Amino acid sequence: MSFETISVIGLGYIGLPTAAMFASRKKNVIGVDVNQKAVDTINRGEIHIIEPDLDMMVHAAVTEGYLKATTKPESADAFLIAVPTPFLPNEEGNIPEPDLSYIEAASRAIAPVLKKGDLVILESTSPVGATEKMAEWLSAARPDLTFPQSAGENADINIAHCPERVLPGHVVRELVENDRVIGGMTAKCSARAVELYKTFVQGECVITNARTAEMAKLTENSCRDVQIAFANELSIICDKLDIDVWELISLANRHPRINILQPGPGVGGHCIAVDPWFIVSKTPDEAKLIHTARKVNDAKPDWVINKVKITIADFLQANPDKTAKDVTIACYGLAFKPDIDDLRESPAMAIAQQLIALHNGNVLLVEPNITQLPAKLAGQMLFSAEQAFSEADIHVLLVDHKMFKSIKPTAGLVVDSRGIW
């Protein structure tokens, strides 16, 4: 049975590009989101997130009539769930537990419109076992239909986990080109999911089971987290030993089998700093290295703040006529990584906020990729790099945006968390 109508639940950074991609292949796509504002924006042919080329795709899909957004699920042949899986609120020091309530809510929302022959795919990054849980929620809501956990290959509804693996900023290209892990609850579920993704995926669709697919996604991001933690730990060791860590890494990387990543002010974003916890919370006694890497990366912003405090003390020692109130600090970059405007879960933002709270003098914020500061920084102003260069006594480089690679301050003290100045 082919897929004529496809519904995508959750129209965020993954769901919206995926919906637009199916629509670009002339499938009827129903995008569902609880956010009425996002739904209205999309139905005007506009987008509420920033991702290169997505605006054109959504505009074309909506004007040609292949994509519409709504807050209430409608009947479709396939449902892709791409909702967030954040943490449950937890006390500092405890292992964060994943919050599956968005997946549960999405399952309950689509259950009434499911019909025999439908395919349901969980795309959200999830702890091992989440797809089976989703299948249970669906089955509890629709006792009149059969599901793979009890009916196997003969189930009325097919279910699979197919994790997204695209890099923010390159989503449109990577959705098409990346290989896809397809974890069906049965062989038939996998085969149908492959058929669906082959609508636009040019990469290979590699079949496994749902649990392995869940773990594959968590493994990819945990691997990167561990590798970044290694670089961050090296930067702290090198600082103590008076060695330039960036020179050290570039030398070590000349070895044919070594490829060390780059240290920074910490790990941000909604994936790499989150997903390893899904492994740690399931297997806390076994996931020792993954847990330690998380702690190393989470501690890095405080290390940078401490560096700034030491630099303020150095400045005051060299300028005995001044007090902390007279010292102007500039922070360069607020985004969670270079050349994007996404400030969520950004270590640079956390450092800037803490410096504003800690420091008696002025803190100037420079972020060339935004025009307005978020509410969290209400009362602060955005400055151009040139203004900050001329006004600040201490320059704190937090994000290696392209722009900062071509200019640098000529006076004042520098705390460079990225090694470009």
Q: Which is nearer to ligand SAJ, 87 or 137 (CB)?
A: 87
Q: Which is nearer to ligand SAJ, 44 or 376 (CB)?
A: 376
Site residues (vs ligand SAJ, CB under 6 A): 125, 164-168, 220-221, 224, 228, 261-262, 264, 267-269, 271-272, 336-337
Q: Which is nearer to ligand SAJ, 145 or 171 (CB)?
A: 171
Whole-angstrom distance, CA of residue 398 vs CA of residue 419: 10
Q: How far is the CB of 2 from ligand SAJ (least distance, A)?
A: 28
- What is the helix (H) or strand (E) element at residue 106, kind and residue range? helix 101-110
Q: Which residue is nearest to ligand SAJ (CB)?
A: 271
Q: How far is the CB of 229 from ligand SAJ (least distance, A)?
A: 9
DSSP 46: -
Q: What tokens appear for 195 in the block?
A: 């058929």
Q: How far is the CB of 219 from ligand SAJ (least distance, A)?
A: 9
DSSP for 234-263 reads HHHHHHHHT--HHHHHHHHTTSTT------
Phi, psi torsion values for 288, nearest 5 degrees = -75, -50
Give every CB contact of residue 239 below 8 A, 6+ residues apart in sequence. Answer: 245, 307
Q: Which is nearer to ligand SAJ, 62 or 349 (CB)?
A: 349
Cα angle value 236/270/221 (rounded, 5°)? 65
The partner residues of 331 in beta bridges, in order of sequence, read 365, 396
Whole-angstrom distance, CA of residue 160 vs CA of residue 131: 7
Please check whether residue 160 is in contact with residue 183, taking contact to mean a CB–CB distance below 8 angstroms.
yes
DSSP for 322-350 reads --GGG--EEEE--SSSTT----TT-HHHH
Whole-angstrom distance, CA of residue 381 vs CA of residue 377: 8
**Residues with a known catalytic role:** 217, 271
Please check whether residue 141 is in contact with residue 109, taking contact to mean a CB–CB distance below 8 angstroms.
no
Q: What tokens appear for 275 in the block?
A: 């997903």
Whole-angstrom distance, CA of residue 301 vs CA of residue 352: 10
Q: Which is nearer to ligand SAJ, 294 or 337 (CB)?
A: 337
Q: Which is nearer to ligand SAJ, 101 or 253 (CB)?
A: 253
Query: Residue 138, Cα to own-chain centre: how many angstroms?
Result: 27
Q: Which is nearer to ligand SAJ, 273 or 388 (CB)?
A: 273
**CA end-to-end span of the chain:** 58
Whole-angstrom distance, CA of residue 141 vs CA of residue 120: 14
